[in-house]
Structures are given as C-alpha cells and as structure tokens.
Amino acid sequence: MDNPAYVPILRGMATDSDILIVGGGLNGPCLALALSQAGLTSTVIDALPVETSDNDRFDGRSYALALASARLLMALGIWEDVKANAQPMLEIKASDGRAGEGPAPFFLHFDHAEIEEGPMGYMLEDRFLRHALLTRMQADPNIIHLPGKRVIAQDTTGPASVTLEDGRTLTARLLIGADGRQSGTGARAGIKRQGWDYGQTALVCSLKHELPHHGIAHQFFMPAGPLAILPLPGNRCSIVWSETHARAAEINALSDEGYLEVLRPRFGDFLGEIALDGDRFTYPLNLTISERFVDDRLALVGDAAHGVHPIAGQGLNLGLRDVGALAEVLTDAKRRGEDIASLLVLERYQRWRRFDTATLAASTDLINRLFSNDNPLLRAGRDLGMGLINAFPAARRSFIREAAGLTGDVPRLLQGKPL
C-alpha cells in the first residue's frame, strides 16, 4: 500500500471510459483492440470521418509489415480480415545504383528461407488495414469510436479529460496520443520534439508491371536518396522514391508520362513495361522524436512519439511495438491492482521503448546519410561492406531476423501470444 502506483486507484474515479485515445489512424485502433482483451474500455477520437468508399482505389499508402507486426494483427483477430490482400515479402535485395546504370555488383540479398519462422513480412495497403480496424472497433463493446471529431483542449491534473470542437468533454483514467508527428496531444502537454529535416521528399505511387515480382522487395540507394520497390498482390508494386525537395517538386509537376520517363532509368527493366496504377503522392521526410513518451496520466505512441526516415520501412512497425509494449504494461498493472495511469506505471513503457526507438532512429539516419550521396570513397566502402555481410550466412540471418522484428525485447502480442 505504500507504493504510489496504487494510491490513486483507491480513491476511485468516475469516467466515461478507462482510456481516451486521440488518433484513429492505425496505432490508436490497434491499441484500443489490444486493451479490450484486458477488459479495458477505450474511446477513440478520430479526426478523419468514416470512409464510405468501397476500398477499390489505391490511396498511396502501403506498409511493409514485419513478421512480428503481422503476429500482433493475428493476436488481435485482424489478420483474417486482411490476409487475402497481403503480399508476402520472400526476399529483399539492396544495392547501390545510379539512374540508367543498374545495381552495383556488390549487394545484400536476404531470403526468408534462411529463417524458420516464415516470410520476413508482408506488404499491405492502408485502405484494407484501416477498413478492417474500423470494422473490428465498431463490433467491440469495449470501444467507442468518434469519427470526424477534433480535440481542442486537454487536462490531466485529475482524471484525464479532453474537450472536443463541439463543446463536449470526455474523461478517462488515461490519455493516449496516437495523433501523428504533429501530435496535438504531446504539444498540449508541453512535450517538445527534437529532430531535423532530411532535405528529401518521398514520391509515392503504385505501378503495374509486365513481369511477376516473385515477392521480392528491392532497395536501390541512389545519390539523391533511396528508391524502394515493394511487391503488392498481382503484377503490382509500391514505389517510395526519395529526391531532394526541389527535384521532387519538379518531378511531381510532370504529366504521368513525364513522371514515368524520369522513373524508368532508376527503376530499370527487370519487371518489363511499367505503368502508373492510381494517383501519385509526396511526403516530406524528417526525423522527429519526442523528448519524453509519457507525462502525468498521458502516453504517446507511434508517430506521436517518434517519426523516422522510411528507408527501412519501419515506421508502422515501430508504432506497433509501442502498442504491444504499452498494452502489456497496462494489462500487467491492472492485474496487479495498480493505477494504470500512474507515472510509475507509464515510465515502465517509456523505459522499454526509448532505447529501441533511439537505436532505430540513429540507424536509419546513418544509413540515409551514408548512402544518399555519390562520394566515390563512401560508395566503395559501403559496397564492400554489403558484399562482406552477404558473404556470411550468420550475418545475413541476423539482419533477416532484425527486419522481421524478431530480435530484442519483443512484446507478447508481437510474439503472437495473448496479453
């Protein structure tokens, strides 16, 4: 009884739900569904309205889900709803490259057959994943979903509360910010962010191509920035192509055919003829990390806590590890009779996630700086390094397991285990 983590819960708090989650993209709904397994109720405040489309159009967003992230979706019962639209990633090939020259002779080649667990990951489009999450939330009696609502104020001095644009006030024991890199939840709590702009913009689109991709993902490191070619179901792939801000603006202003003319020398002809499959999109790239992930009765997850370079495709995977860790910490605290919103409890989540986040942020930053240039000495060194790693099976397997999210202190949900 002398543990401060136990004291507030003894006073009792009348609230609308156990958890208020600001942000209804992907991490917020996943967290609500995870906490529901522990009997915790959530209100998910979603700035986006419920989409009425029939999911027949690619909107530019696809995710490289690591195997561990797919296991979390399995544990939440979501995987059955999306697996028909998920493309297994069976191999990853990474190499230096220049437009019109093809890949360098030294490269990395990761094959899922070198590990026992299965595919390293899956490609899944946002339209299918978000639809599945909305459907599951609407069917869960422990979750209230409020679409098309914005938070304009918050208070965590007592029970956590938020005020919506329509004047309503909602209360809970704990407030979660899952509202992206420009997190209003973090800003209102006075949590500062650190980071920098990469001077790069990602050009994103989907392509149709003539030849099958065989589930192989490609990463070409061009002087201006990386080009990722990621397999989608059928003869389709997702492109994440980085250029300088100015050059990206010029390319995006071109007609569809002009856009393809610039892309073709970078893409190559290994998949035959290519054509655009849907709209084109651009996203400025930066690194942004919150100085802390928790505060009094408040925690941040996903991009609200950290935004990294997409060079390794780990943005959503990093967020889902947050979801798994926070859900596990809160569930274990509830079982012990602790106040789930105690700062002592929330700091367990922060300690768990800070090191992993900092390590990945530093790694992606270093890789981008090392490869996004045409310095001949750096080029020779990195090509030799990739060749050496590729020559040693143990090193390859280590990288494959890292890419699959199977290393480190993995939360139970990401191991496919229940909370």
pLDDT by residue (tens digit) across 212-254?
Answer: 999 999 998 888 888 999 999 999 999 999 999 999 999 999 9
Annotate 203-222 with DSSP letters as a single string: EEEEEEESS--TTEEEEEEE
Query: The pTM is what?
Result: 0.91
Q: What is the number of residues in the chain? A: 419
What integer pLDDT is reported at residue 105 of this predicted model?
65
Q: How confident is the model at residue 106 (pLDDT cuts 50, 70, 90)?
A: low
Higher pLDDT pick, 370 / 237: 237
Q: What is the mean pLDDT of the chain?
A: 90
What is the distance between the alpha carbons of residues 240 and 254, in angstroms, rounded to a whole number? 17
Do 173 and 13 contact (CB within 8 A), yes or no? yes
Tell me: pLDDT of 85 over 70.
yes
Q: Give the tens place of pLDDT for each residue, 373-382.
A: 777 777 777 7
What integer pLDDT is reported at residue 63 of this predicted model?
94
Tell me: pLDDT of 363 over 80.
yes
Q: How confident is the model at residue 8 (pLDDT cuts 50, 70, 90)?
A: very low
What integer pLDDT is reported at residue 55 of this predicted model?
54
The C-alpha angle with vertex 416 and arms to 411 and 417, in degrees rounded to 5, equals 75
Tell me: pLDDT of 102 over 80.
no
Tell me: pLDDT of 12 over 80.
no
What integer pLDDT is reported at residue 67 of this predicted model?
96
Annotate 139-206 with DSSP letters as a single string: H-TTEEEEET--EEEEE-SSSEEEEETTS-EEEEEEEEE---TT-HHHHHTT--EEEEEEEEEEEEEE
Higher pLDDT pick, 196 / 375: 196
What integer pLDDT is reported at residue 322 of this predicted model?
98
Tell me: pLDDT of 91 over 50.
yes
Tell me: pLDDT of 57 over 90.
no
What is the distance between the alpha carbons of residues 184 and 187, in angstroms, rounded to a whole number? 5
Look at the domain 4-56+125-194+288-372 and name its fold.
Answer: FAD/NAD(P)-binding domain (3.50.50)
Higher pLDDT pick, 415 / 109: 415
Residue 322, phi then psi, degrees to nearest 5: -60, -50
What is the distance between the alpha carbons of residues 61 and 126, in angstroms, rounded to a whole number? 5
What integer pLDDT is reported at residue 100 of this predicted model?
62
Tell me: pLDDT of 365 over 90.
no
What integer pLDDT is reported at residue 9 of this predicted model?
44
What integer pLDDT is reported at residue 54 of this predicted model?
45
Tell me: pLDDT of 53 over 50.
no
Higher pLDDT pick, 230 / 9: 230
Q: Give the tens place of pLDDT for each residue, 388-398.
A: 787 888 888 88
Q: Report which secondary-structure segment, H or E, holds 41.
A: none
Residues 336-358 have a mean pLDDT of 96
What is the distance between the alpha carbons of residues 301 and 293, in angstroms, rounded to a whole number? 7
What integer pLDDT is reported at residue 384 of this predicted model?
74
Higher pLDDT pick, 162 / 380: 162
* β-pair type (91-98, 102-111): antiparallel
Residues 364-386 have a mean pLDDT of 75
What integer pLDDT is reported at residue 81 of this predicted model?
96
What is the distance between the alpha carbons of residues 140 and 117, in angstroms, rounded to a whole number? 31
Tell me: pLDDT of 147 over 70.
yes
What integer pLDDT is reported at residue 344 of this predicted model?
97
Q: Where does 234-375 have alpha helices with state H?
A: 245-252, 256-267, 315-335, 343-371
Read off the amino acid at residue 358: A
Q: What is the dihedral of CA 169, 172, 178, 180, to 10 degrees?
A: 30
Beta-carbon-side half-sphere exposure of residue 131 (alpha carbons within 13 Å): 18
What integer pLDDT is reported at residue 377 of this predicted model?
73
Tell me: pLDDT of 10 over 60.
no
Hunting for tokens 């910490």 — which residue is that? 329
194-226: string of b/e by CB count within 10 Å (b at 16+)? ebeebbbbbbbbbbbbeeebebbbbbbbbebbb
Domain ranges of the chain: 4-56+125-194+288-372
Least confident window among 89-98, 150-159, 169-178, 263-272:
89-98
Q: Give the tens place of pLDDT for each residue, 112-130.
A: 989 888 899 999 999 999 9
What integer pLDDT is reported at residue 70 of this predicted model?
97
